[in-house]
Amino acid sequence: TQSEPTPYSHFPLLPLCFVGLAYDSRMQRHECRCGDLSRHPEHPGRTESIWTRLNQSGLRRQCEVLRKASLTELHSVHSENYVLLYGPDPLDPDEVDTRKLTGNTLYTGEKGVPLPCGGTGVDVDTVWSEPHTSTAARVAAGCVTDLALKVALGELKNGFAVVRPPGHHATHSSPLGFCYFNSVAIATKQLQQRLNLNKILILDWDIHHGNGTQDAFYSDPRVLYMSLHRYDHGAFFPGSGHPNEVGEGAGEGFNVNVAWSGGLMPPMGDAEYLAAFRAVVMPIAHEFGPDLVLVSCGFDAVEGNPDELGGYKVTAKCFGFLTRQLMSLAGGRVVLVLEGGHDLTALSDSAQECVSALLGREVEPLSPCVLEQRPCANAVSSLHSVLQVQGQNCTRQYKGGLEVHTSLQGRVRSPDITTGEGQKCTRHYRGGSEVPTSQQ
């Protein structure tokens, strides 16, 4: 039986300066029973390739085999029925409440839906493997939670969680896009509940919008959620993440979507992501002043991923550079959590660059021509859109009496952003309504 984790008030504050690496081989057992990895972009080779590279390159400094997330921790983000459906270990009778699971298709022999490959899934791309999927998803959430708590307590300097399945698409009551439990959201809830952290930044740079993470904190002013994602006016999966989605109630202004549109004409690359950091991400993050930074660290924007799952041309070296930028926040308390990314070379290269940055190693800098390159016109339009929306709608004070729109208006005039033609986004997916948005 999975026991509850030790209360974190009992853990000593240790002045350690280690970079934590979270990994557990049990996550490798989650795979489609068809055995054909070529038909499933989310497969065990993803984390295996990263772990092999970190070992071969000598970057591994500390690794702990961490626990599964408890059912209570899963409940902090997901509904009771959802946790009962996907959380219990079917081999552990103490975890399976047969009274509540009566009729549950995952435990009555009709396990999910048949996939074209011959395997089983909960939708067309999210495979289910009995009995390994629930264990893998809980180990991933537990690893991320423990790593985040140890960094927050000062036991670790920062960390990288090499975990799967990913989590940022999982909502309160539904799996989606390879995701079962939203590890980053669960870790954030535990940081709030156990350590009373009131300023947590979640940055999601996976090429797909983290709809589940956004939903979990949409009305919570203690969490600043920022996402850089391919949007294409709502045509790219999952279709959410319009710049107008700024939060609601007390959380209005604490949700920031840099929604890239324009397809692959041209694909976004280093110049565009650097511009987003200079003009949007870092100014707002510094105003917020987080106690800890969690990164939903997908690498599907890196060159090499197929167009239908990525298509952009950001370099691994750029993600290492962006990691170093984030380390200027929260006293360097940064935790990277693997989300997507399907080209194994791109995955391994990117993880190596990011871990090198966390370790403070001297790495080859980005070339001056990359640092000085202007973003493309589609990127400029997308950035002006988010700046305009945030400047008009975000009036929440972060700290020091400064309103975020004041900072943003100053950045609109920054030479880092060139003037570009305006475009119009006509679909606001969160409300399901058509909301025209004029852009400069």
The residue-averaged pLDDT of 227-235 equals 98
pLDDT given at position 12: 37
246 near 256, Cβ under 8 Å? yes
Q: What's the pLDDT tens digit per position in 253-263?
A: 999 999 999 99
Alpha helix segments (H runs only) across 119-277: 132-153, 183-195, 211-216, 270-276
* Residues whose CB is less than 8 angstroms from the CB of residue 439 and which lie 6 or more positions away in sequence, other chains included: 381, 384, 385, 388, 422, 423, 424, 425
- CATH 3.40.800.20 corresponds to the domain 8-412: yes
Q: Pick 42 or 16 by higher pLDDT.
A: 42
Query: What local confidence, expressed as pLDDT, does residue 61 receive?
Result: 55
The pLDDT > 90 percentage for the chain reads 50
What pLDDT band is residue 435 in, cutting at 50, 70 and 90? very low
Comparing 89 with 13, which gets the higher pLDDT?
A: 89
Query: For this structure, is 169 an active site residue?
Result: yes
Contact (Cβ atoms closer than 8 angstroms) between residue 357 and residue 327: yes
Averaged pLDDT for residues 146-162: 93
> Cα 116 to the chain's mean position, in Å?
29
**Which of these is catalytic: 30, 78, 132, 169?**
169
